[in-house]
Amino acid sequence: MRKVKLILFFSILLIQYQVSACDICGCGNNGSYVGIMPEFQKNIFGIRYRQNSLRTHVGNNGMNTYLTNKESYTSYEFWGSVKISKRFNLLFTLPYNSNERTSSIEQQHINGLGDINLMGYYTLVQSNKLTKANKVFLQSWRVSAGIKLPTGRYQQTENSSTSQLFTLGTGTLDFNIGSVYEARIQNTGLNLMTNYKINTLNKFEYQYGNKLQFNTQLYHKYFINDKIAISPNLGLQLEINDKDYNKQTIVEVSGGSLLNGSIGAEFKINNILFGFNTQTPLYQNIGNKMIVTNARNMVHLSFAF
């Protein structure tokens, strides 16, 4: 038990000191998010709705200028987890993206298939025991590795000095490695997830910056009966993007750091899983402060069997 407390303590410290990365735009893939009720012991299939928005080319102190664009990114995802063996699960995400950009002179809209994400999770630790205080203690630790396929259409804008955000896909085969740790005493638990995304060069010689993401969620399960459970949760997401490169030249208006606070809930009714999550920026410095991101929202409905 002492070792477990040490693991949790240092994990919480990492939240304060480690940087990470998320895809601030619609072209990237957030399929690394697992959530607090992944049901790894079963097969699971479902749909997810994601929405986020941002402003680009903002002026000092985040003020709008005649160059400012308002951009919205929506993704409808079919996703699932297939139990291959006792310790190995394969997760996939198939997104359909819808992006909209409004400037002072025009409005643009693109939609279509996004980049497919495949991720394998291997269980290193899975335990269930009683503490000295006669409380149930559960913990699990899974490591992951996967790829992102260039299935979404990549569209490069003429402005090479700013990050290429307004596109359905990155046009690259990218790689993910990560880890998910979860510990629960009775009905209160902590979920810790980290993911590092390695981006490659596409055929237009554009390379998005590598991304490291760290999420933590604290939750409590309320069991209405033996078939219904509700789990409200609070969390933090700490992220950073490395700078992009265009034809081996650094894209100055790219990269940066972002800290989000999140609130949400997960519901389980028999084998039906439903959840939602809202993430609000607490701190951000993206693209040399010329990009400002707003709140993100996610809703999912899944079935486990």
DSSP state letter for 10: H
Q: How confident is the model at residue 29 (pLDDT cuts 50, 70, 90)?
A: very low
Cβ neighbours of residue 232 closer than 8 Å, sequence gap 6 or more: 219, 220, 222, 263, 264, 265
* pTM assigned to the model: 0.84
Whole-number percent of the chain with pLDDT over 70: 86
Least confident of 88-92, 159-163, 296-300: 159-163
pLDDT band at 17 (very low <50, low <70, confident <90, very high): very low
* In this structure, CATH architecture of domain 2-304: Beta Barrel (2.40)
Rama region for 115: left / alpha / beta (φ>0; ψ in -120 to 50; rest): beta
Is 255 within 8 Å of 290 (Cβ atoms)?
A: no
pLDDT for residue 120 is more than 70: yes
- Cα 15 to Cα 128: distance, rounded to the nearest angstrom: 26
Q: If you write DSSP's letter for every residue of 47-82 in order, what string do you get?
A: EEEEEEEEEES--GGG---TT-EEEEEEEEEEEEEE
Give me the chain's average pLDDT, please: 85
What is the average pLDDT across 225-230? 91
Tens-digit pLDDT profile for residues 233-268 = 999 999 989 999 999 999 988 999 999 999 999 999
